[in-house]
């Protein structure tokens, strides 16, 4: 009876989604509404994601526009964007918040590549943790009756194959985003 990898696959899928979310939040090129996905706003006594309290648009490649559904949140949105460590300066303009996205300098691009590499490495660390946990579960099955050493060995090989595939996906994501970042 071979090991059921569905739990491992669910966890790796969530890890990939989380890493993609983190990477998409990086400023690559011009204005991109995903840049603001990580911004949290103090609203109604709790922290909420920016896209839960406002609509976000990119009217041109150098500008982001945030239209809050409740105008009283303008200052909180401005504060949230400034506190998100995105190097963006929001400006309250009547009932909206405008953000001018300056072009990336070579120095900024180099910093963003380092941040990108760190986010991908964080994803790989999570993956290695899941692999170690699953490996322990597979090895613990060796003591059970009806499970042969060959089955355990096959399951461990399958685990390594699945882990390598996800790790390669993360590497591809890194290279793709790095190319986008360094393209002037």
Over residues 114-134, the pLDDT tens digits come to 989 999 999 999 999 999 999
CA pair distance 13, 140, nearest whole angstrom: 24
The fold of 9-23+105-182 is: Topoisomerase I; Chain A, domain 4 (1.10.132)
CA pair distance 144, 147, nearest whole angstrom: 6
Angle among Cα 74, 80, 81 to the nearest 5 degrees reads 95
**In contact, 159 and 6? CB cutoff 8 Å:** no
In this predicted structure, what is the pLDDT of residue 29? 67
The fold of 30-100 is: Gyrase A; domain 2 (3.30.1360)
Q: Are strands 54-60 and 46-49 parallel, antiparallel or unpaired?
A: unpaired
Global pTM?
0.71
In this predicted structure, what is the pLDDT of residue 167? 95
CA pair distance 40, 48, nearest whole angstrom: 5
In this predicted structure, what is the pLDDT of residue 125? 96
In this predicted structure, what is the pLDDT of residue 60? 87
Domain ranges of the chain: 9-23+105-182, 30-100
List, for the chain, all residue ranges whose pLDDT scores fall below the cut of 70.
1, 27, 29, 184
In this predicted structure, what is the pLDDT of residue 171? 94
In this predicted structure, what is the pLDDT of residue 105? 82
């Amino acid at each position: 009876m071979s090991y059921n990898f569905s739990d491992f696959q669910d966890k790796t899928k969530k890890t990939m989604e989380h890493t993609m979310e983190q990477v998409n939040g990086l400023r690559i090129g011009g204005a991109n509404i995903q840049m603001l996905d990580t911004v949290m706003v103090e609203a109604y006594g709790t922290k909420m994601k920016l896209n839960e309290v406002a609509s976000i648009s990119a009217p041109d490649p150098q500008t982001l526009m945030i239209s809050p559904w409740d105008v009283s949140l303008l200052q909180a949105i401005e504060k949230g964007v400034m506190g998100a460590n995105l190097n963006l300066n929001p400006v309250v303009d009547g009932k909206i918040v405008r953000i001018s996205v300056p072009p990336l300098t070579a120095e900024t691009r180099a910093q963003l590549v380092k941040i990108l590499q760190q986010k991908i490495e964080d994803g790989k660390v999570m993956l290695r943790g899941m692999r170690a946990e699953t490996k322990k579960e597979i090895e613990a099955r060796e003591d059970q009756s009806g499970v042969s050493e060959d089955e355990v060995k096959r399951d461990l090989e399958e685990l390594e194959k699945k882990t390598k595939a996800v790790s390669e996906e993360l590497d591809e994501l890194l290279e793709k985003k790095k190319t986008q970042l360094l393209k002037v």
